[in-house]
Amino acid sequence: MLSYLANFENHFGPLRALKYISVRTIGAVITAALLGFVLGPWLITQLRKLKFGQHYDDDRTGDLAQRFDKKNTPTMGGLLIFFSVFGASILWAVPNVWVVVSLFVYAALTAVGFRDDYLKVVKKNRAGISSREKMAWQTVITLVAVGVLLWHPLSSEKIRELWVPFLKYPIFVFAGGVGLLGLLVMMFFWVVGFSNAINLTDGLDGLAMGCTITVALVYGIMAYIADNVNLADYLLIGHVPGTGELTVVCGALVGAGMAFLWYNSHPAEVFMGDTGSLALGGLIGVIAFMVQQPFTLIIVGGVFVWEALSVIIQVGWFKFTRRRHGEGRRFFLMAPIHHHFQKQGWPETKVVLRFWILSLMCALAGLGTLKIR
């Protein structure tokens, strides 16, 4: 929105600065952070009044929840992230198909996550929305996103290209009915997969949001590079016009994340809940596709992948040993893996800080793939 003020640079010269993505990204970071700091205390107070607190009453996490005194901490803090990201993005980003699709996916998944949290926290329904309903909504959201990207002339060709790290040409172009179905399936798995991965990571104060910030920083850089024809040609990656505006969205996510961490750091005053984790995973997943770096997300979001794999390994090993030995055995002391280290006696703050370090290392490794072609 503010970018249109650059048209009046003849009347006031400094307005020309709003043409630059870098300037607007910094503006988005600051705006999102300020919105988060301003809205945070009010939202937390309202959540407490409404008694929208997290209840750890299941066998898997109950002991750790009591140990770290997290019972009844307000949840649905993802609303704070959403309003900050959405407000800052609308204010600073130039609206194009990439921005519209990313914010649509984010807003729609926030609504789905909110419904899930509402059923769990308010209606005391431990299961929340059914897996079938959640899957149905995620399918519809992905289908709409893919449909818009294939329809719009700015994105219709570029979204069909499948790039992988270390190669300087796309390995596949989604064409025809089968190809388009493949694109839909892949994007669906990325949106759903990383939604679930961030949800699993969101088990300790500040853990998921801290790791999300590093991923957002990297994909902000990647979006900027993909939009710049000179940088894209130099690094031998796909040039995707218009994706530079996603740098502004990623900047808004970084700013909102910093504000949320202020209230989510140990001991947390609020949790993001599915309202946050489900939507953040979907937003990051769809951005990764739009800047033609979907597989790089496996590296950049290595902590999220590690968390999800630990659960898969734990469940798979338990079922395998139960069939073979008649008694299920655990591969880890507890899954997701951050709880494994808690069980070993690591303080929560140490687990979080070390996972942040790992996330930063994964982010740097992901950036390094841009140069190795």
Could you read off the pLDDT tens digit of each residue along the chain, which spans 373 residues? 776 666 666 777 777 777 889 999 999 999 999 999 999 999 999 988 887 765 544 444 444 444 445 667 888 889 999 999 999 999 999 999 999 999 999 999 999 999 998 888 887 777 778 888 988 999 999 999 999 999 999 999 999 999 999 998 999 898 888 888 999 999 999 999 999 899 899 989 999 999 999 999 999 999 999 999 999 999 999 999 999 999 999 999 999 999 999 999 888 899 998 999 999 999 999 999 999 999 999 999 999 999 999 999 999 999 989 888 778 889 989 989 999 999 999 999 999 999 999 999 999 999 999 988 8
Let me know the angle formed at the C-alpha of 209 by 203 and 214, rounded to the nearest 5 degrees: 130
Which among 84, 101, 91 is positioned nearest to 254, based on CA atoms? 84
Stated pTM of the model: 0.92
Q: What is the pLDDT of residue 211?
A: 96
Which among 154, 129, 146 is positioned nearest to 180, based on CA atoms? 146
C-alpha 318: how far from its chain's center? 29
Count of Cβ atoms closer than 10 Å to residue 96 Cβ: 17
Q: What is the pLDDT of residue 137?
A: 92
Q: What is the pLDDT of residue 70?
A: 64
Q: What is the pLDDT of residue 50?
A: 80
Those residues with Cβ within 8 angstroms of residue 277's Cβ, 6 or more apart along the chain or in another chain: 78, 113, 195, 198, 199, 201, 202, 208
DSSP per residue, 344-368: TT--HHHHHHHHHHHHHHHHHHHHH
Q: What is the pLDDT of residue 8?
A: 66
8 Å CB contact between 219 and 250: yes
8 Å CB contact between 50 and 13: no
